[in-house]
C-alpha cells in the first residue's frame, strides 16, 4: 500500500519476543508508516506503539524490562498515547502470569491472572471466532463469524476491572472459547490488545489493524 503524507507513524517494539517482520508488513499494508525499533525516543513519539509477544510470559517480561519497554508503555499510557499488545504482548499487560506453577508479575495495567488454558487440545492453534461487543471499534466492519488465528496455551479467564469513576468509559472486552471461555481482546482507552494474531488473520486481521490505525 502506498503511504500518504498523513500516514500514521507506528513503532513495532523490538525487544526480542515477537514476529516483528510479520507485524511490520501487516501494518504497512493497512496504511501505517512502520518502524521496528527499541529506541526510547522513537517509541515514545510514535502515533501508535505495537507490542508483540511470543513464548513464555516470564521471558517476555524480562526482555521487555531490559529494553525499557515497561517504562515506555507506562509513560505512553499516562499521556493517553495509543498502545496495542498482541498475543503474549497482551498477556503481559495483566497483573501476573502463572506458568508451570511459577508466578511472574506483569505490567499490571489490568487486574487479572494469565493461567493455563484448560482444553482437550493445547495449545489452541488455528482459526476461531470471537464474541465482540456490538459497539466495538476494534471489530468495526467485521462480520460476527469472522475468524482469527490463535496460537497460545495460556489465557485470561476472568475480567474483574472495576471502575469507580462513573465518568470513565467501561472497557470493551471480547471473548472466545477453546475448551473454556477466555479473553480474546480488550479495548480500554488508549490501550488495546488481542490474544490472537491479527497479522496472521488474513482479511479480518487486516481490517482490525486498519481500525486501530484509524483511531491514532
pLDDT digits (tens, 9 = 90+) for 20-75: 999 999 999 999 999 999 999 999 999 999 999 999 999 999 999 999 999 999 99
Do 17 and 63 form a contact (C-beta atoms < 8 A)? yes
pLDDT value for 1: 45
Q: Determine whether 87 is an active site residue.
A: yes
- Structural domains of the chain in order of their starting residue, each with its CATH number: 9-214 (3.40.50.880)
Q: Active site includes 197?
A: yes
Considering 24, 87, 109, 178, which one is annotated as catalytic? 87
Q: Which of 124, 152, 178, 197 is catalytic?
A: 197
The answer to whether residue 60 is catalytic is no
pLDDT at 166 (0 to 100): 62
Its pTM stands at: 0.94
Q: Which of 35, 2, 40, 32 is nearest to 21 (CA)?
A: 35
**Inter-residue contact 107 to 92 (CB < 8 Å):** yes
Amino acid at each position: 500500500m502506498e503511504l500518504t503524507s498523513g500516514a500514521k507513524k507506528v513503532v513495532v517494539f523490538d525487544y526480542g519476543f515477537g514476529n516483528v517482520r510479520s507485524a511490520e508488513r501487516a501494518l504497512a499494508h493497512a496504511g501505517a508508516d512502520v518502524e521496528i525499533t527499541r529506541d526510547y525516543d522513537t517509541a515514545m513519539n510514535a502515533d501508535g506503539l505495537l507490542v508483540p509477544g511470543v513464548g513464555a510470559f516470564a521471558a517476555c517480561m524480562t526482555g521487555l524490562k531490559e529494553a525499557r519497554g515497561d517504562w515506555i508503555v507506562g509513560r505512553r499510557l499516562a499521556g493517553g498515547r495509543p498502545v496495542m499488545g498482541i498475543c503474549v504482548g497482551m498477556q503481559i499487560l495483566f497483573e501476573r502470569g502463572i506458568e508451570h506453577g511459577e508466578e511472574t508479575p506483569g505490567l499490571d495495567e489490568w487486574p487479572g491472572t494469565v493461567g493455563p488454558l484448560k482444553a482437550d487440545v493445547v495449545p489452541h492453534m488455528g482459526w476461531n471466532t470471537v464474541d465482540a461487543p456490538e459497539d466495538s471499534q476494534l471489530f468495526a466492519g467485521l462480520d460476527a463469524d469472522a475468524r482469527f488465528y490463535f496460537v497460545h496455551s495460556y489465557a485470561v479467564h476472568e475480567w474483574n476491572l472495576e471502575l469507580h469513576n462513573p465518568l470513565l468509559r467501561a472497557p470493551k472486552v471480547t471473548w472466545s472459547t477453546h475448551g473454556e471461555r477466555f479473553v480474546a481482546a480488550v479495548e480500554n482507552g488508549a490501550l488495546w490488545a488481542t490474544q490472537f494474531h491479527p497479522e496472521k488473520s488474513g482479511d479480518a486481521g487486516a481490517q482490525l489493524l486498519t481500525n486501530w490505525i484509524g483511531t491514532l
